[in-house]
Chain A
Amino acid sequence: MTLTSKTATELQALLQKGEVTAKEVTEATLQTIEQHEEKINAFIHVAKEEATKRAEQLDQEAATTRGRLFGVPIGIKDNIVTKDMKTTCASKMLEDFVPVYNATAIEKLEAAGAINIGKLNMDEFAMGSTTETSFFGNTLNPWNTDYVPGGSSGGSAAAVAAGEVPLSLGSDTGGSVRQPAAFCGIVGMKPTYGRISRFGLTAFASSLDQIGTMSRTVEDNALLLSVIAGEDDNDSSSSAKAVPDFTAALTGDIKGLKVAVPKPYLGEGVDPEIVAAVREAISVLESLGAVCEEVELPHIQYAPTTYYVISSSEAQSNLSRFDGLRYGYHTENAENLEQAYFRTRQEGFGDEVKKRIIFGTYAMSADHHEDLYVRAQKTRTLIAQDFDSVFEKYDVVIGPTAATTAFKLGETGGDQLVHYANDVLAVPANLTGRPALSVPCGFVNELPVGMQLMGKHFDEETLYKVAHAYEQATDFHKRTPSIQEGK
């Protein structure tokens, strides 16, 4: 077994005991990345020098002061700012942007001894679900390079699936951690809104955005969230709730757990083979003592459109900061300030981003504000109430993470509307602020399938407990893409 095929938890045990050094792990990681990148293009920037230097420093640390992620390599989605390391959001607009501070999540990783190996590819400004809108070219799915890895955190998912890194950070505004996790056969968690500070996460839609954790096993994911969660003075929406050690929740005991399965989640628009895989997973949970029942969600069909209106409206406001003056790309051909704004934004943003900004402006305009934006906010209330009443009786809501397996490259052209069936499954967790996790639950045509578990606010522990019990009862997480064996 090579160092890079080990989980973060396994690496930790070796590193803490001094059986391997942080430098050895980092070197093995950089070597694996070099082997795979030509095939999958998961990284925008590999931080070879910085990571090597950091590993050498860490190895000098006394064994008694080592943090929970001491020496563990991690990849970071390129919309999370890293001091002195380019953060591009996969956009020409920030092609050469070097942040002057670290996101809070990055500070916490550093304090825990993790090693930032580099910045991961994504859809431009996280707008998309295929990683095809990246200015730096698309990422390919390690299971089959004719397919996309999903998105927008496609690089974060592909890097973990290919064995380049055991852990990565993504961000999830409407499924952007969970859907690529499902497409790449790994574990992806979008925690409760406010669980992880958003300070330093480039804002797309502020009432929906949340940093998420990605890994090959549930245990690794729980470990990573335990490290980066918590209140932050720099993000007033971060929660003051105490952060438990999430790995302590992995008891394997789910007897009596009440599981709701929304009927629309296994109905029209979802690939029948995926429905079959999720039904099989449900029967595994039942054999472990869970009680599963079907429920209705009366407003669920409006979730995607509610999401399109709210996310685009918030995006048009958030992306107004890119003016080409204070930082980022700026046009060379402007005679006055007005022209500089227009041309910088014309030349710096890609088509998907422009489309959403213009649509968001329409939705927020005086003539349409009430009928679109406010109406979407009211519909959001109704969707949240549907879930509130389900969670009065049940502990988790289960369904597929995505309606299909990974799309073929170019199949959707990154078109938002094609993704409607997936969005019904993905966006409710963001609209309602609830935690949701994707765990591998099968394969269709050799492409991974994910099961999604949604929970009560700030009850990530139950999601980890259920996902872990399921994972230990199955062996989907043990399969690796052939790319890992160099085939």
Chain B
Amino acid sequence: MTTFSKEDVKYFADFVRIGLSEEDKENFSAKIADLIESVSDLKEVDVTGVKPMTHPVAMINVLREDEPKDILDREVMLASAEDQEDGLIKVPDIL
């Protein structure tokens, strides 16, 4: 049986900055263990010499002219941020 401990949950959640309650850790530990178990069937597949598929429809070098465009103005975009000052987004203390 696959195990995915509460510590494992925290270890991986930390990389993606997701805070967790004790209850969350327990809940995700069981559910993710099930998921890992279920995807273990991929190990049976003979993938020798097979190239990974990264795009569903192959396209090569999609280019367009590098011309400046009239896009959204700064004030409009900044209005989505919770906190702003002098045209910049304000964030909590970093240090």
Contact = CB atoms under 8 A, between A and B. Distances in A.
B32 A362 contact: yes
Interface in A370-394: 371-372, 374-382, 384
Contact of A377 (B28, B36, B52, B82): B52
Interface residues of B, number: 51
Contact of A379 (B15, B27, B42): B42
Chain B contact residues: over half helix, strand or loop, or mixed? loop
Interface stretch (A133-141, A231-239, A258-266): A231-239
B70 interface: no
Given A192-B57, A355-B31, A375-B45, A339 B52 contact: no
A411 interface: no
Given A193-B57, A365-B12, A379 B82 contact: no
B56 A343 contact: no
A153 interface: no
A340 interface: yes
B92 A358 contact: no
B1 interface: no
Interface in B19-51: 19-21, 24, 27-28, 31-32, 34-36, 38-39, 41-43, 45, 47, 50-51
A103 B12 CA distance: 33
B12 A354 contact: no
A335 B93 contact: yes
Given A340-B91, A365-B12, A359 B35 contact: yes
The size class of the interface chain A forms with chain B is 35 or more
B30 to A, nearest CB: 10
Nearest to B34: A417
A457 interface: yes
A314 to B, nearest CB: 11
B18 A337 contact: no
A378 B20 contact: no
Given A98-B80, A308-B39, A374-B52, A325 B91 contact: yes
A207 interface: yes
Between B21, B27, B47, B89, the greatest number of chain A beta carbons within 10 A of the residue's beta carbon is seen for B47
